A = this chain, B = another copy of it.
Amino acid sequence: MPTARDVAKQAGVSTSTVSRVMNHDPRISPETRDRVVKCIEDTGYRVNQIARSLKTNRSYTIGFLCPELSNDFFMKIAEGIEMELGKYGYSMVVCSSNGTIQGEEERIRLLYEKCIDGLIVIPATNSGSHYQWIKDLRIPVVLADRLAEGFSADAVLVDNFNGTYLAIEDRIRQGERRIGYIGGDLALTNARERDDGYRKALESYSIQIDDSIIKYGDFHTESGYSKMKELMQQENPPGCVFIANRYMHVGATKYLIENTAPSEKAVSIVSFDDLELVSSLGFCKVVVRQPTLEIGITAAKLLYDRVNGEILPYPQIIRLKTELHKI
């Protein structure tokens, strides 16, 4: 591991000169620069970012905290973040909170000790007061996908309400009157907004809300399966079901495949987010698509601006548009 000193010695200059060359300081003679550059290449010298960070107080590292890693949706967001911040030489420490507040607290402390320049988090629960701690330490925080109660901060979300509203409206216009609902945990703001969109759409068309065809899962596959089962086993099942996210959509579809005679396909599905395959299966008629990669990119841009002291109104709540996609 050659250091600046090694390069300096070999080039017959001081370490400050090496530092200047590394940082493209203009007031350095071409000859010296060339000589130093050559020695840098010869020795294979690379700045030690740790040492640099200590001096400059910037780590060029940001944290990404989400409830779980093996989740396509979260990781698509991560991908967007990496794409965007990678351009500026940032790297990303990825942490899983395991869906708990304790997990989040632990990870946040860890990230703070690592001197991250900023943090992007997908809240695991509806509670966000513990984020305040790191924010007070002057680390910019950007929420993604969901808001958190008790914590006001920059956030990048999608238009859950309108997306859902339009999807339901579309089904109503197709003549559907009895539309069931499989939602997510209402503690999560995105789940709540989708819920609101569903109810508001029915209300707008003077359709009575029927609580017996409204079920709440946890955004995971199994709950999609079991909730769809509950719906279908009623004496008067809905003719169409809205499902609030992709994983529950998979589970619900699984139930339908296993329990529907090939001829009927009585039930249709409307869903937030689709998955491969699902569209070929014939159950799903309409999908609300969200710009997942964009969520990451936008959050990264926002964080970048905050880290670099860009003057923006606070907080920035950015809503990205969803898109109604008919299959």
> Digit string of A230-272 for contact with B (CB within 8 Å is 1, else 0)?
0000000000000000000011011001100011000000000
Docked complex Cα distance between A109 and B112 (Å)? 24
Q: Which of A95-134 contact B (CB under 8 A)?
A: 95-96, 109-115
Contacting residues, chain B, for A110 (C-beta < 8 A): 89, 91
Within the complex, the shortest CB–CB distance from A140 to chain B, in Å, comes to: 14
Query: Is A218 an interface residue, CB under 8 A from the partner?
Result: no
> Digit string of A54-86 for contact with B (CB within 8 Å is 1, else 0)?
100001010000001111100110110010000
Query: Is A92 an interface residue, CB under 8 A from the partner?
Result: yes
B71 lies within 8 A of A114 (CB)? no
Docked complex Cα distance between A65 and B75 (Å)? 14
Within the complex, the shortest CB–CB distance from A99 to chain B, in Å, comes to: 13
Contacting residues, chain B, for A138 (C-beta < 8 A): 1
Contacting residues, chain B, for A43 (C-beta < 8 A): none
Residue of B nearest to A71 (CB): B75
A93 lies within 8 A of B95 (CB)? no
Of B50, B91, B254, the residue contacting A95 (CB under 8 A) is: B91
Q: How often does this chain occur in the complex, in copies?
A: 2
Q: Knowing A71-B75, A221-B276 touch, does A50 contact B114 (C-beta < 8 A)?
A: yes
Within the complex, the shortest CB–CB distance from A114 to chain B, in Å, comes to: 5
Of B50, B82, B276, the residue contacting A115 (CB under 8 A) is: B50
Residue of B nearest to A82 (CB): B96
Contacting residues, chain B, for A262 (C-beta < 8 A): 262-263
> Digit string of A130-149 for contact with B (CB within 8 Å is 1, else 0)?
00000001100000000000
Contacting residues, chain B, for A47 (C-beta < 8 A): 113
What size tier do the contact residues of chain A reach?
Answer: 35 or more
B111 lies within 8 A of A91 (CB)? yes
Query: Is A35 an interface residue, CB under 8 A from the partner?
Result: no
Within the complex, the shortest CB–CB distance from A24 to chain B, in Å, comes to: 16
Query: Is A49 an interface residue, CB under 8 A from the partner?
Result: yes
> Digit string of A258-297 for contact with B (CB within 8 Å is 1, else 0)?
1000110000000000001110110000000000000000
Q: Knowing A112-B46, A115-B48 touch, does A68 contact B59 (C-beta < 8 A)?
A: no
Docked complex Cα distance between A177 and B53 (Å)? 63
Docked complex Cα distance between A150 and B115 (Å)? 37
Within the complex, the shortest CB–CB distance from A180 to chain B, in Å, comes to: 20
Docked complex Cα distance between A211 and B209 (Å)? 59
Complex A-B, nearest 3 residue pairs according to Cβ-Cβ distance, in ascending order: A262-B262, A94-B94, A69-B79
Instruction: Jot down 25 A-B pairs with beta carbons below 8 A, ordered by A.
Output: A1-B138, A46-B109, A50-B50, A61-B93, A61-B114, A68-B79, A69-B82, A70-B75, A70-B76, A70-B79, A91-B111, A92-B93, A92-B94, A92-B95, A93-B93, A93-B94, A250-B277, A251-B276, A253-B277, A254-B276, A257-B280, A258-B280, A262-B262, A262-B263, A277-B278
